[in-house]
Amino acid sequence: MTIPFQPDGAIPAAILPFHEDYSIDEASFRAHLNDLAGTIGVTAITVNGHASEVASCTFDEQARVLDIAADAVGTRLPLVSGVYTESSLEAARLARMAEAHGAAALLVFPPALFTLGQRDEMVLAHFRHIAAASALPIVVFQYPLGPGQGYRLDLLSRLCDEIPSIVAIKDWSADPQLHERHIRTLQSRARPVAVLSTHSAWLMASLVLGCRGLLSGAGSVIAGLQAELLAACRDNDLARARQVNERIHPLTEVFYSPPWVDMHNRMKEALVMLGKLPRNVVRPPLMPLPAEEKQRLRRALIAAGLLAGSAPRLAA
């Protein structure tokens, strides 16, 4: 039985481990999912997203990822499955597959085609295809406006009006002023649409604005700290939030440094350093991290108090 999805709380996006031959390491993936599911404050888990290198996964592999996740943790937490494709017809196919394989909600990525320009009716039609294919709740992945894949606030509002299955946005607008507008506008609708932050590089600043929750690839490594930060912000406990943020900060400084394409590569390496994954294999064109990056990452894990030998840094 699929657990209903509620768009709030801390929702980590799971890493997808691979063997040396680039095949999915199912045993390590199950262990990773169980680790996330056992973390206090985690309310759902996302699969088939950026963190799991979805761009390199076939349709059948994405279905298998959902099957493993449903079997491992699907009776404990709802699963959010990414819909990542250039085609509206394939998006509908992915949505049908996700519902059939145990997903409780869909995370809809914007087609990269939109970087060449988008019309409102094109965006609306894309989401109509998905909503017609599946009754699952939809989380709209909101990208920055500049490159063309993000949706204007008036278009987001129209989407929410015309597609009732939209229950949340995963906000990566990368604009604090627009981010606050999203929170104020969407969460105060007659039918509220939750804003889930994915501004993981400045998460505390984002959460204090009133996000309902967060959906983050960094949660694959620090779900517990992110959940604790969210709880402190909800309790208006600024002192505790700052203490938790002091632990998170050194890691986000490494995870979200140029080139951003390596952010989830770094998270996977962090899990190896923590003894939670046996190897850091990424699929090409991603490549293994250079030695100096690994050293920076190890220092950040120590500063965060996640590796033995150092106490967490506390706010002054």
- Per-residue model confidence as pLDDT tens digits over 6-26: 999 999 999 999 999 999 999
Domain residues of the chain, as ranges? 9-237
Topology of 9-237 in CATH?
TIM Barrel (3.20.20)
**pLDDT at site 28:** 98
Q: Average pLDDT, whole number, for the chain? A: 96
- Per-residue model confidence as pLDDT tens digits over 239-251: 999 999 999 999 9
313's tokens? 């840094």
- Cα–Cα nearest to 43, from 207, 169, 226: 226
Buried b (16+ CB within 10 A) or exposed e, 31-55: bbbebbbebebbbbbbbbbbbbbbe
**Which comes out higher in pLDDT, residue 310 or 135?**
135
Distance in angstroms between the alpha carbons of the first and the last residue of the chain: 48
Nearest-angstrom CA–CA distance, 246 and 260: 22
- Per-residue model confidence as pLDDT tens digits over 297-315: 999 999 999 998 644 444 4
State the pLDDT confidence band at 282, using cuts at 50, 70 and 90: very high
* Cβ count within 10 A of residue 299: 14
* Secondary structure element (H or E) that encloses residue 195, with its range: strand 194-197
Contact between 143 and 118 under an 8 Å Cβ cutoff? The reply is: no
Contact between 126 and 111 under an 8 Å Cβ cutoff? The reply is: yes
